[in-house]
A and B are shown apart, each in its own frame.
Chain A
């Protein structure tokens, strides 16, 4: 078998396999799955942020029309124990997950208290409104800055509301600060946000008690974890419970909690009723009961010399974990390990307090702690530039990790050593500056200032540790139809895995991309794997597919060499043909080879494209003595213990209207390195989509809670404004490609990259625009009223000076 593979598909913008059905309205999302005689559920959720439940009376709800079941925590018996935590976490002093249904205490507005199952959703909601709960309200812990030390207590075993402490360091930051020529200190914060996929969460259960077969469709990023977890919790075998993620309308982190209460309660209700049941999250529920993220407050410091060479960085920060800690300190350690980013900084120390508040639980949302880290580092860069009187991008360049320093050890070691596998940060930085053209912008900025207009420029660099959780698996089979069917537990939420994985397989196997069928999300029965998060889908799933395809190729070559009576090394596979090197007419279709190799001899017609003479010759030889073990199939597990570090540079110019506080992005530059690119159109789409989410996070989106009561004040798309087309600038996009040495495909993750540096870029650009007014940006997002207020207070401060 010749090993020189003609790469035909990897690197090409192959049109997406998924699109045809999605464009016809033929996608099948959870709420679209048709299950006969299915009941629907609705939830009663807490109206209090922190309260004791004195009593629950469900009598009126039970008697309401169409109601089949009303459940409270007390009705669940031994099932109503704290939900599983993501991983054991030694950093946690007081780790808490919520109960499927709150029984004695509620800790955030939106926490589920009772579940109603009725003939349809309308009736279920009617009845849920009839559940009567008496509460004894307790002081709410709302503001992160005051979470510790106030009157409110979220969990009684953590009276100071400290859930955990995270610390990591490299070098000796304290000593470096003591001897440093210059030091700057900043107080920085980023507010809470949430994922807001346009399809909310949902779970649909079909249960037939006679056949003892449960089929669950879940809008989740981790169908296999959900399946096996549910089997354990409900005591069902993996044969009795099939769970798949069908088409999923976006995830961005919000759909990988394993478990949300509803994911256990719906299957349980189905078992209890002997009926099929469905629940579809509505938008209000997404705002109050899906996980959220971002909220952090940093006290950050940087030590440097007169040239701007950074000697040390320290940050102590508060991390808002909400009412429970399903992910422990995961988001926190992402922040800690991403502050240093692309900069060579010998001394670093980060300490974090994971704090409970009476708000929805926090788990990773696209970016997952990294946008906060980049915001902190790049704000410090700005402070260094100001103090030294040098250009901030010159300071950055001075401190970049050089291209010959890879693999680069950061010296950090949370969970495992933080080691950058590959990169070329100078190249990306140079490309970004070339696209940005700062010199031309400064001229334009000067001219604009003379006209009373405020233009500014900002830039940020970042790295992203991609592909956590070391294993992913898939199974593959070459069929007599000529199709290669590959099944993965990994689920897609719009990333186009059906296309990229098919490209990878087609190249490895030498077949046509349209002959590869990818069944992701456990739909195809591969029920081992982890899930789609941490920008790991392509790295882990793609390499598993490559490995399985390679094994299929070897099996085809071995069998074909026997048929053709040549050495396996002389077998050539291309375009779905298996042939002999140097004898291109001695060839068979892949499907024909699979049919010949199959020991069970299924009936069918022989391939019309195959040369009958070749076919006759080899059919006799294939005989009827084929062992079943020769079937052309493979099960592959890909392991990558270390993370692959993607990186990039974003830059923008903006105009700020000092009267209205409005910010308009004039130009946006995005340079990105995710290693080998499999499908450029899909990568660009991921990155641009992330950018839009980043712009939302920088300028439009924030979750507000009443500071006294903890009532959420942003619970619709009218209060929490996602970006629309007019918020998104045109983008100049550049790529750097440094393959990862960690995996055979050389790929790195790309799902989260676009969102990570945006707040840092916008902060620097707005600050630059308003520099004549003396405005400093230390908190994100920036709303127009925030900017007007910053201008006002800067003017007042200057007036006093």
Chain B
């Protein structure tokens, strides 16, 4: 990749010990995706705004596009691939996204899941305001966010009340029959 001497790093990723020689300028996002082949971490902007590349680094949610792989030496990384249960079932946040149609194209989703996973570790009873504050750190171009908040409500237990997401007010069938 470059003439600069590769640096040996050792870290734990989703519970497994990993070691690699990486160029000093290699981004953590590229290291995870292209060297460890953990392609669930997506890269949307490479300037730290969209949040698609969010992973947990020693428990804190970080933008892996703003971290060099060498900076992660000795750390514990968790990515979306590590969210499912030991039996292979979807984790509670993942399941809630599925139940509430919280994703469409799915590209931004892993980053949001990781931020929520970090929040769940830190504040398991986060309220809607706290969830939305975390969610403002992510860009989703498909969903309009409301179903994501509803999914989070399932997990964090703040429910729909007060400010509900979209709901069908009424079905008015003004219909003719199909040809």
Contacts and interface: CB of A to CB of B under 8 A. Distances in A.
Mutual binders A and B? yes
B44 A198 contact: yes
B166 interface: yes
A680 B41 contact: no
Interface stretch (B69-77, B104-112, B119-127): B104-112
Contacts of B132: 725-726
Contact of A249 (B79, B107, B145, B170): B107
Contacts of B2: 65, 122-123, 126
A283 B45 contact: yes
Interface string B162-179: 011111111111111111
Interface string B48-91: 01101000000000000000000000000001110110000010
Nearest to B82: A25
Contacts of A570: none
Given A196-B141, A250-B105, A283-B46, A24 B84 contact: yes
A220 interface: no
Contacts of A601: none
Interface string A370-381: 000000000000
Q: Is the interface of B mostly helix, strand, loop or mixed?
A: loop
A282 B46 contact: yes
Interface stretch (A170-178, A295-303, A733-741): A733-741
A494 interface: yes
B171 A737 contact: yes
A385 B82 CA distance: 59
B47 A739 contact: no
Given A16-B101, A685-B104, A283 B44 contact: yes
A198 B52 contact: yes
B168 A733 contact: yes
B148 interface: yes
A120 B178 CA distance: 55
Interface size class of B (residues with CB under 8 A): 35 or more
Contacts of A680: 168
Contacts of A78: none
Contacts of B165: 730-731
B43 interface: yes
Interface string A4-24: 000000000101101110111
A494 B172 contact: no
Nearest to B131: A725
A32 B33 contact: yes
B38 interface: yes
Contacts, number: 244
Nearest to B93: A23
A564 interface: no
Contacts of B79: 25
A688 B144 contact: yes
B147 A493 contact: no
Contacts of A723: 144-145
B153 to A, nearest CB: 13
Contact of B98 (A19, A736, A744): A19
Contacts of A670: 166
Interface in A286-343: none
A661 interface: no
A199 B83 CA distance: 22
Given A23-B97, A249-B107, A495-B104, A29 B42 contact: yes
Contact of B178 (A26, A676, A689, A690): A676
Contact of A252 (B47, B139, B141, B179): B141
Given A20-B98, A427-B174, A746-B178, A717 B46 contact: no
B107 A684 contact: no
A728 B167 contact: no
Nearest to B136: A724
A121 B88 CA distance: 35
B130 interface: no
Contact of B106 (A27, A65, A743): A27
A549 interface: no
Contacts of B10: none
B164 A730 contact: yes
Contacts of B84: 24
B1 interface: yes
Contact of B110 (A25, A734, A741): A25
A250 B141 contact: yes
Contacts of B163: 730
B174 A494 contact: no
Contacts of B1: 66, 119-120, 122-123
Contacts of B20: none
Nearest to B110: A25
A734 B142 CA distance: 20
A514 B145 CA distance: 28
A624 B38 CA distance: 50
Nearest to A495: B104
B105 A249 contact: yes
B38 A34 contact: no
Contacts of B175: 737-739
List 4 A-B pairs, minimum CB-CB distance, nearest first: A25-B40, A494-B105, A249-B107, A22-B106
Interface of A: 13, 15-16, 18-20, 22-29, 31-32, 34, 65-66, 119-120, 122-123, 126, 195-200, 247-250, 252, 282-283, 403, 422, 424, 427-428, 431, 434-435, 493-496, 670, 676, 680-682, 684-686, 688-693, 716-718, 722-726, 728, 730-746, 754
Given A126-B2, A685-B143, 10 more contacts: A25-B79, A29-B42, A122-B23, A428-B172, A494-B106, A494-B142, A495-B104, A688-B166, A691-B144, A746-B177
10 contacts: A22-B103, A24-B84, A122-B23, A424-B174, A688-B144, A722-B141, A730-B164, A732-B169, A734-B172, A738-B174
